[in-house]
Amino acid sequence: MLAKAITKIFLKKLIKKLVIASILFVASCASSQNQAGEPSWYLSPKQNNSQNFYGVAFGPNLEEATKSALADAAARLMVSISSESTLLREEDNSGANEEMRQQVKQNIEKIDFTNFKVSRSQKSSAQLFVEVEIERDPFIRDQKEKIEFNERKISDLEHGLDSANPVQKRASLTKILDISKQVELSSRILSGAGVAIDLKSKLNRIAAFQNQFNQLTSKIEFFFEIDSPREVAQIIRSALNKEKIAISNSRGGKNQIVISIKSSSRNSEVYGAKMTKIALDFENIFEGKVIASNKIEVGGSSTISEKESYAASLKSLEDEIEKQGILKIIGVIN
């Protein structure tokens, strides 16, 4: 009886082990099947070195696969950037650098690889696997040249800040901050690639410009001339509010910009559709002088009425503001 009991226990353990082994075998086979056709250099890609950067990907054709492989190379650099330059945020910049870092990560496709080659490719079923190789030195040199070029543009804009009126100063700072995004991107790439660069000082400079912009924006306010068309003024007011620019209900103030809007419209009919064109003339007045202006025309149509076509024209104005930016529409920036 004892022998039978021992045998029974042994058989149970043996069956259990066989079941576990079978499950592991099936899982192993499934894994091998999933990876079937994928080249070994894709599964274990080359690491970046002192000569080259690498990226791997697959796609339905060579163009798409290469594009994805370059994105992979960019993503690897961004990982290096994240690990090499952790948190370089100044106490007084209201998170500007941290926010810009998120923008950098969201725009890895802006990394321009001009000197690369498809070093490996392999067709498997409907997919083409590709490895790209980017020469490190020309790429690094290109990023350094971009930094130098953009910093010269920033310096040129900076020289005119002291003598500029508030509108001109804000416009210049807007351009500076836009160019600074490219400076930061290239600087972080170089830092992530192990190139000696004073990243913190560059971020400090960008943060200083951001602080100037924030402080100036908080001081500038607009006042709409009383004869400005109500519907258009309301659209402009809403757009300025989105830019966090104050609107005053009373005239007068050190940094107040008086905005004058002249509007005229004309109607026509084409194949039964009502057409409306609205001509708008914007003038920005500071200390009694017109310091910026712009003229635009927007149009809309409706098969219902002229009132509806006029509303469609106003919607076109909103679309143009969304596309170009409110400050360009009213003439503050070119």
pLDDT band at 241 (very low <50, low <70, confident <90, very high): confident
The one-letter amino acid at 292 = A
CB-side neighbour CA atoms (13 Å) of 291? 21
Instruction: List pLDDT tens digits, range 36-85.
Output: 578 999 999 999 888 999 999 999 999 999 988 888 888 777 665 544 44
% of the chain exceeding 70 in pLDDT: 79
Q: Which of 196, 189, 219 shows the shortest CA–CA distance to 80?
A: 189
- pLDDT surpasses 90 at 151: yes
- pLDDT surpasses 90 at 148: yes
Across-strand partners of 121?
130
As its CATH architecture, domain 41-135 has Roll (3.10)
Tell me which of 7 and 75 has the higher pLDDT.
75
Task: Give residues with Cβ within 8 angstroms of 323, minimum separation 6.
Answer: none
Asked whether the domain spanning 221-329 has the same topology as the one spanning 41-135, the reply is: no
- pLDDT surpasses 70 at 13: no
State the virtual CA torsion across 26, 29, 33, 35 in degrees, nearest 10: 120
Q: What is the CA radius of gyration of the chain?
A: 31
- pLDDT average, residue stretch 141-145: 91
pLDDT for position 149: 95
For the ranges 30-34, 49-53, 111-115, 247-251, the lowest mean pLDDT is seen at 30-34
179: number of Cβ within 10 Å = 19
**DSSP 8-state secondary structure symbol assigned to residue 219:** H
pTM: 0.60
Task: Give residues with Cβ within 8 angstroms of 104, minimum separation 6.
Answer: 78, 81, 181, 184, 185, 188
> What whole-number distance in Å separates Cα of residue 326 and Cα of residue 243?
8
The whole-angstrom distance between residue 146's C-alpha and the CA centroid of its chain comes to 18
pLDDT band at 19 (very low <50, low <70, confident <90, very high): very low
> What whole-number distance in Å separates Cα of residue 76 and Cα of residue 215?
37
- Where in the chain are the domains? 41-135, 138-219, 221-329
Sign of the CA dihedral with 163 first, then 164, 170, and 176 last: negative
Contact 284, 167 (CB under 8 A): yes
Instruction: List pLDDT tens digits, range 260-277.
Output: 889 888 999 888 889 999
Across-strand partners of 258?
223, 285
pLDDT for position 124: 84
Q: What DSSP assignment string belongs to 47-72?
A: PP-SSEEEEEEEESSHHHHHHHHHHH
- pLDDT surpasses 50 at 214: yes
Q: What are phi and psi of 269, to 5 degrees?
A: -135, 130
> What whole-number distance in Å separates Cα of residue 174 and Cα of residue 328?
11
Q: Which of 273, 276, 271, 331 shows the shortest CA–CA distance to 302?
A: 273
pLDDT for position 297: 93
State the virtual CA torsion across 187, 193, 196, 197 in degrees, nearest 10: 10
pLDDT for position 36: 52
pLDDT for position 81: 53
Mean confidence (pLDDT) of the chain? 79
CATH top-level class for 221-329? alpha beta
- pLDDT surpasses 90 at 218: no
- pLDDT surpasses 70 at 191: yes
SS3 label, residue 276:
strand
**DSSP 8-state secondary structure symbol assigned to residue 87:** -
pLDDT band at 184 (very low <50, low <70, confident <90, very high): confident
SS3 label, residue 305:
coil
